[in-house]
Amino acid sequence: MENIDQLKTLLAIPKDIVITSHRNPDGDAIGSSLAMYRYLNTQGHTVRVIFPSEYPDFVAWLPGAEDIIIHDIEPEKADEVVQRADLIFCLDYNSLDRIDKLGETIGAQNDATLVMIDHHLYPDIQAEFQLSVTSASSTCELVYDFIKMMDDLKVIDKDLGECLMTGILTDTGSFKYSTSPRLFRVVAHLLEIGVDDYKLQDLIFNSQQEKHLRLLGHCLKNRMEIIEEYQTGIIWLNRRDYEQFDIQRGDTEGIVNYLLKLKNVKIAAFITEQPTIVKLSLRSKGDISVQKIAQDHFKGGGHKNAAGGSSYGTLRGTINRLKQILPQYHQELLKQ
Ligand code: 5GP
Ligand code: MN
């Protein structure tokens, strides 16, 4: 962020600030938002956090989660708060179409200054202030950087550190992806100020209910297809599965990653039938870009090795479409 000094000047006077993150917020979305919420509160601003939709239970214990406004539940309140804002922070997303109706309200709010902090490819928000670093592990890592640029690292206490650590743990799959020496330096600092990484791992990853493991078993036994020729694995769920297993938001988190445990699988797809769309969650190993597959064929985006998109076709039609486009990526698979 080259114009950080300008932002420092703006933030030197108490402001009305709204922090937003993407639909179906994950650990990084909520961790980065609540970390920024705590930081800006310490600086004397009036701060509200708004998400388009509800957050999953495994992050409900995070300090400040109870203050979040959910646009799906309180649309008028959320819109009113956005309309009053002097500054709007966009965290962990880079296109207003990732936040549905909330995006329309922000798009129509011409008086607020936008600040985007994100690590996804191809930013598409006209923000006056942008910290867009696609090599960063998580938006939480970038919120740490932002606080450092503001010369306020001393403000990071244990609670704020727990918020940051949550997004780092979830977006790196507990340090399996997108790690770097500087990420480990950030993490070392967080541990030094008292963040308990074991406790967080337990709260985030060992909080499942019996139905989650039953669902996982069903996915692996009955819903998994391996396409050897294209080193691709697919797991799909239809509407009936959603009813049978009482699947709620967040319950399918992480299932796609099981496909990558297979040595010969380089592309993993988790495809689910939602009320109005079919949603795709894509993962890959090495140089294969699922971001490109998501963007070119499923109106989506994300990162090279983790992306998502959607389709208005049927579940079967979407699975077939994915299978049809795999030959295009065959050459890249052969290189691996
Ligand atoms: P997940 O598969 O965990 O839902 O998402 C993986 C990554 O892809 C996330 O970084 C998420 O932001 C991105 N992503 C998921 N769905 C979409 C989508 O529909 N559009 C875009 N642009 N990105 C998506
Ligand atoms: Mn993220």
Alpha-carbon gap, residue 314 to 331, rounded angstroms:
28
* Residues 38 and 168 both lie in one domain: yes
* Residues 215 and 197 both lie in one domain: no
Distance of alpha carbon 190 from its chain centroid, rounded? 21
* Residues 275 and 325 both lie in one domain: yes
* Residues 139 and 222 both lie in one domain: no
Minimum-distance ligand to the CA of 28?
2
- Percentage of residues in the chain having pLDDT higher than 70: 100
Pocket test for ligand 1, best of 21, 26, 234, 270 (most atoms within 8 A of CB): 26
* Residues 111 and 248 both lie in one domain: no
Strand partners, 280: 271, 309
Whether residue 109 contacts residue 87, with contact meaning beta carbons closer than 8 Å, is answered with no
* Residues 110 and 164 both lie in one domain: yes
Q: Measured from the CB, is residue 307 less than 6 Å from ligand 1?
A: yes
Alpha-carbon gap, residue 58 to 204, rounded angstroms:
5
Residue 336 confidence (pLDDT): 65
Residue 238 confidence (pLDDT): 98
Minimum-distance ligand to the CA of 119?
2
Nearest-atom number in ligand 1 for the CA of 22 is 12
The CATH number of whichever domain residue 217 belongs to comes to 3.10.310.30
Q: Measured from the CB, is residue 300 less than 6 Å from ligand 1?
A: yes
Q: Measured from the CB, is residue 31 less than 6 Å from ligand 1?
A: no
Residue 1 confidence (pLDDT): 87
For ligand 1, atom 14: residue with the closest CA: 308
* Residues 116 and 102 both lie in one domain: yes
Backbone angles phi, psi at 205, to 5 degrees: -105, -20
Q: Measured from the CB, is residue 27 less than 6 Å from ligand 1?
A: no
**Interval 125-154 mean pLDDT:** 97
Say yes or no to pLDDT of 204 above 70: yes
Nearest-atom number in ligand 1 for the CA of 120 is 10
- Percentage of residues in the chain having pLDDT higher than 90: 90
Backbone angles phi, psi at 229, to 5 degrees: -55, -35
User: Among residues 26, 173, 7, 20, which one has the least CA distance to residue 94?
Assistant: 20
Residue after which a domain boundary falls, among 144, 172, 205 = 205
Q: Measured from the CB, is residue 306 less than 6 Å from ligand 1?
A: yes
* Residues 59 and 190 both lie in one domain: yes
Q: Confidence class of residue 12 from pLDDT cuts 50, 70 and 90?
A: very high
Pocket test for ligand 1, best of 98, 124, 271 (most atoms within 8 A of CB): 98
* Residues 45 and 192 both lie in one domain: yes
Cα of 312 from ligand 2 centre, angstroms:
25
**Interval 208-220 mean pLDDT:** 96
Does residue 2 sit in helix, strand or coil? coil
pTM of this prediction?
Answer: 0.90
Pocket test for ligand 1, best of 117, 120, 304, 318 (most atoms within 8 A of CB): 120
Q: What is the DSSP string of 204-242?
A: HHS---HHHHHHHHHHHHHSEEEEGGGTEEEEEE-HHHH
Q: Confidence class of residue 331 from pLDDT cuts 50, 70 and 90?
A: confident
Minimum-distance ligand to the CA of 139?
2
**Interval 69-87 mean pLDDT:** 97
Residue 333 confidence (pLDDT): 75
Residue after which a domain boundary falls, among 177, 205, 233 = 205
Residue 335 confidence (pLDDT): 73
User: Residues 90, 145, 173, CA angle at the centre, nearest 5°?
Assistant: 80
Strands 232-237 and 301-302 come out as unpaired
Q: Where are the beta strands (DSSP E) in 92-213?
A: 113-118, 129-132
Alpha-carbon gap, residue 52 to 66, rounded angstroms:
15
The CATH number of whichever domain residue 66 belongs to comes to 3.90.1640.10
Say yes or no to pLDDT of 332 above 80: no
Cα of 201 from ligand 1 centre, angstroms:
23
* Residues 199 and 163 both lie in one domain: yes
Residue after which a domain boundary falls, among 175, 205, 235 = 205
* Residues 126 and 170 both lie in one domain: yes
Please give the residue range of the domain that contains residue 145.
Answer: 4-205
Number of domains into which the chain is organized: 2
For ligand 1, atom 17: residue with the closest CA: 308
Whether residue 136 contacts residue 119, with contact meaning beta carbons closer than 8 Å, is answered with yes
Q: What average pLDDT does the structure give for the chain?
A: 95
For ligand 1, atom 19: residue with the closest CA: 309
Tens digit of pLDDT for each residue in 228-272?
999 999 999 999 999 999 998 888 999 999 999 999 999 999 999
Angle between helix axes 315-325 and 290-297 (nearest 10 degrees) is: 120
Tens digit of pLDDT for each residue in 27-58?
999 999 999 999 999 999 999 999 999 998 89
Tokens of 202: 């337990």
Minimum-distance ligand to the CA of 167?
2
* Residues 197 and 215 both lie in one domain: no
